[in-house]
Each structure stands twice: as structure tokens, then as C-alpha cells.
Amino acid sequence: MFDCDEITNEGIASALRERPGLRSLSFSSTSSNPEYRQVFATSHLIDSLVSLKSLTCLALHNLNISDELLNSIAREGLPLMSLDLQSCTDYSFNGIFYLLSKCQHIQHLGLESAYFLEDQHVVQLSSLLRDLVSINLTCCQLTKSALFTLANNCPSLSEINMEMTGENVVGNSDSLGKLCVYPQLKALYLGKTSWLSDESIIMFASIFPNLELLDLNLCNDISEGICEVLRKCYKLRHLNLAYCPRVKLHGLNFVVPKLEVLDLSNTKVDDETLYVISKNCPGLLQLLLEHCNDVTEKGVKHLAENCTQLRKIKIGNSSHVKDALFFTDIRKGLTCFVLQNMNISDELLYSIAREGLPLTRLVLHSCNDYSYAGIYFLLSKCQRLQHLELYHTDFLNDQHVVELSSFLVDLVSIKLNYCKQLTYAALFALLRNCPSLSEIEMENIGGKIVGNSDSLVEFGVYPQLKSLYLGQNSWLSDEIITMFASIFPNLQLLDLNTCNRISEGICEVLQKCCKIRHLNLAYCCEVKLLGMNFVVPNLEVLNLICTKVDDETLYVISKNCPGLLQLFLRNCSGVTEKGVKH
């Protein structure tokens, strides 16, 4: 995978020639500079690409490519099974048609933002795609007739993404319903499609009866027709109606037996609707109700009383759900509870605690008006938590974490980002008391411990920790990360982005933490890797975006990181073709 805006075509060509057995290749550009989008602009580079005779997966994102490139891939008969040209420009229908005519075993095809593509083009392409399993045609100027063409010509096609497509079919669209029934289609993404109406989705329900996932987010004209869809597509498990302002579910007077996930965020759903849902969706596991201002505690209480399988409820930014009392009737099966950007109270936390819910995941993201007393009481009663997130908990300090961690013996992951009163003493308290803890996020916390940090080594070694996120901590130094390497020898992921005091100490970290697979040093302006004179056998992903890495550093990396799969070098002005060739 390459994400390297500063690297030239010659450098990439050299890198490809040295890897003839490559099976998967991904290029992307996020630069606004058109020069950096011209990755495959030379015949020399194209020849290097098509020499990869084992290539089965090719992803090109946000690049200027050409028909010459696509024709060359076609002539070489590369065994492509997955092709993704997301937001690429400068190629035409002729190029993609010729490629697909020669590579007819494609299973996954992405042509997002192929603005030249028309319905008739899809008719021609689909005749070549008998093995197709999934296709992404987001942001193409297509109508629903293209959708039916794909379903008709691709017998294995189970997933279609046509979000933000063109206008409706001109004339009477009912005739399309005469095509057939297509039982193979399981997932349909039609979000952000302004022309989609009740009439259209009812027709889709008749033609695609085995749908299990339907995404209609931001479809403004959908209203009562969604009830008919639920009646006909009785296998539906996942329904996304977020940002559908006119959607109405009051007519849901029948059981929807398999629905498990329902997203009604940013809709005008009300308490009456929640009552109907609670009565007729007995298998509901997850319900998302963010920014639903017509929902009150009464409506959520209906869910609590009737949806006995409910495992996750997400309520955020709702102006009318503030009282804790509705939780007193929540069924005993709720395992995941997420609140974001809400004013909650200790009374809410007390109510959850008294019910003894078997919570395994609790997220209080940027919530206000509760205190340490509330979260302490809750955790003392819900001691089966495996995942805990307390973003922006301004009152939380190190001593609080010491006390809370004694309740969290089953904890697997914790996120305490932007808790400004914490120091890394809280990190050690968690590891000392949580024997199963494998992932910690403490980005942008308060600071380091005052005094001599060497004494922390006395806490011991914590082999259970596998992932550590400490980005945006300006106080983090070589001394501290070297100490961490001694204490956390089994780290597999280490994220130190935007830690400006880290320099040569990262080499000692790599030497001690020999299991590291993913290392993020983006925006670490002082980082130095020239001292890496040893093999790092397991490193697969290395992010050096916006660092001072140069050709000499890339030579050291190339010699000592034999398993590297992904390298990110965007905005690394010290890198030339010579470095990439290494």
C-alpha cells in the first residue's frame, strides 16, 4: 500500500519491479496538487505494474489514470478478482470495458465517482461480470434501471452500493417490476438518493425479497412505504433510516421477526413510534436514536419493557431524554449502553447500577452533569464490563482511576482520551488491577508524573497489553517511551502521533517490543530511525506522515523491516526516488 504524495513514478516503478510476487496493491492520493495524482502517467510505470502476474487485488483511489493503463492490464490478463477505482479520473468507458472484457473473474468492483457511466454502459459491463459478488457505483449518474440490469445479469451479485446516484427513470417505472425476482441480493445501499420514493422502495421490496441489509439514509421522500418494505422483506436484519425526515413507522402493525439493527438517528421518530417498534420488533438488538428530539423517557421505557433482546441503545444529543427513571425497567439483557454529548445525571447512573444490568460495554462520550460518585457506584455494581469509554471526563484524576480499576477485573479495553487531570500513573493503575486489559487509549491527557519517573519500573512487567494509543501528548519523551517498552514487551500496536519530543528513543522501543506490527509516528517532527541497526521482524504498518524521514532512513527501514506491508510517507520532503528504491 502506498500513500506517498512526494514519491515519483520512477521510485514507485522501481519498488514494483522488486516485488514480482505481489498479490495486492493499493495506491491513494489525498493531495490537492494535481501533479501528485499522476501516479501512472508513464509507460515505464505501467509496464512495472502489469509485470505483477500474481496480482489479484488492485485499488487506486483519487488518482488520474488513463485508458492506456486499463488496456495494459487487460492485455496482460492479470488474474484480478478485486478492482477499485474510487474517485479516479481521466479514464473512459472504453478503458474499463476493455479491461473487464479480459478480466472476467472480477468478484468485487468499485467505480465510485465514475461520472461518465450511464445506464447503457452498465448493461454492457454487466454481461462480462458473471462472477460479480459486490459492486460500488456511488456518485455515478445512473438510474434505478442500472440496478435491475446488474441484478438480472450477475447471478452471484449479493451486494450493491448505489448511493448518491442520478435521477429517476423517465416515464412509468412500474414496467421495471416485470423483470423478475432476484433472490440473490442480500445488501442494498441507496443512501443520499433524492429521487427515491415510497413507490420505488415498495417495488424494490417485491423484487429483492431476501434483503438482509437496507441502507436508505438521507432519502428525504421516504415516508410510510417503509412499512410495506418491512412486510415483504421479512429477512431484513439491518435497516438504516438515519436522516430520513419524513419516515413514518406507525403503520407497523405486524411482527418483523428478524430485525436486529435499526438506525433512526436524526429522524422525527416519537414515543408512539417507539411503542409500535417495541411491540413488533422482538429480536431488536441495537437501536440508534441520536438527535431524535421527539423521543422522551416514555418512549425509551416502551423499548425497555418490550424489546427483551435489546443489547445496545445509543442516545445522543436528545433534548428530551434526561431523566434517569426510564432505566429502572430496562430488561436484564442490555449489554451495551452508549451516550454521546448528553447532559446526564448521577441519578441515571444509580438507576442502571441498581438494576444490575449485565453491561459489557459502556460509553459516556463527552457527557456532562454527572460526577465521580455516579460512575463509581455504577462500576461497583456492573463489574463485568469489558469495554469502557469516558471521553472528556474532566473531573477524573489518577486516584479515581486507582479506585475504579479495582472493579474492572474483566476489562479488555479502555478509552480515556481528553481526560486532562490524568497522568500516566493512571495507566499503570489500570494494568496493575485489570489482568485482561489489552488495549488502552489515553490521547491528549494531562501530563507526566511530577518527580522521578524511573520509580514506575518497580510496578513490574505487564505482558497483557497489546495496543497503546498515546497520541497528542506533548510531554511524552524518549525516556518515558523507553521505560514503557520495558514494561509492555508484548505491544503489537503503538500510536504516538503528534508527540513532538520523541526522537531516537523509538529505536529502543522497536528493539524491546519485537512483536510490534503497527507503529504510528505521524507528525512526530523530531523522530529519528537511523539507529535501527537490528531486524524488526513483525512490523507490517509504519506511518511516517509529516516527519523528517529521508532516503537514508528509508534504506535502514528497508534493510531491517522485511515484513512491511504498508508505509505512509505523505509530506515527507526529504524522500526521493532513491529512498523508495531502497
How much of the chain, in percent, has pLDDT values that exceed 70? 88
Residues 136, 108: Cα–Cα separation, whole Å = 8
Q: Which of 577, 567, 576 is nearest to 26 (CA)?
A: 567
pLDDT-based confidence at residue 59 (cuts at 50, 70, 90):
very high
Residues whose CB falls within 8 Å of the CB of residue 451, separated by 6 or more in sequence, listed in order: none
| pLDDT on residue 306 | 82
Q: Does residue 242 contact residue 265 with C-beta atoms inside 8 Å?
A: yes
| pLDDT on residue 318 | 60
Mean pLDDT for the stretch of residues 163-169:
73
**Which residue did the predictor score with more confidence, 326 or 100?**
100
Alpha-carbon Rg for the chain in angstroms: 27
| pLDDT on residue 450 | 43
Q: Is the pLDDT of residue 456 over 50?
A: no
| pLDDT on residue 427 | 93
Residues 213, 239: Cα–Cα separation, whole Å = 6
How many residues appear in the chain?
Answer: 582
Residues whose CB falls within 8 Å of the CB of residue 120, separated by 6 or more in sequence, listed in order: none
| pLDDT on residue 335 | 84
Q: Is the pLDDT of residue 413 over 90?
A: yes
Residues 377, 517: Cα–Cα separation, whole Å = 38
| pLDDT on residue 301 | 78
| pLDDT on residue 325 | 42
The pLDDT tens digits for 78-99 are 999 999 999 999 999 999 999 9
Residues whose CB falls within 8 Å of the CB of residue 313, separated by 6 or more in sequence, listed in order: 286, 287, 289, 300, 303, 334, 336, 337, 338
pLDDT-based confidence at residue 295 (cuts at 50, 70, 90):
confident
Reported in sequence order, the residue ranges of 17-104 that DSSP labels E, i.e. its strands, are 24-28, 57-61, 82-84
**How much is the mean pLDDT over the chain?**
88
| pLDDT on residue 173 | 45
Alpha helices by DSSP H, 501-563: 505-512, 551-560
Residues 67, 141: Cα–Cα separation, whole Å = 20
Q: How far apart are the first and last CA of the chain?
A: 16
Residues 341, 391: Cα–Cα separation, whole Å = 10
Q: Is 558 exposed, middle or buried (0-12, 13-18, 19+ CB in 10 A)?
A: middle
CA 46 to chain centre: 31
**Which residue did the predictor score with more confidence, 337 or 582?**
337
The pLDDT tens digits for 363-393 are 999 999 999 999 999 999 999 999 999 999 9
- Residue written as cell 502506498? 2
The pLDDT tens digits for 514-528 are 999 999 999 999 999
| pLDDT on residue 121 | 97
- Of 16-25, 92-101, 411-420, the one with minimum mean pLDDT is 16-25
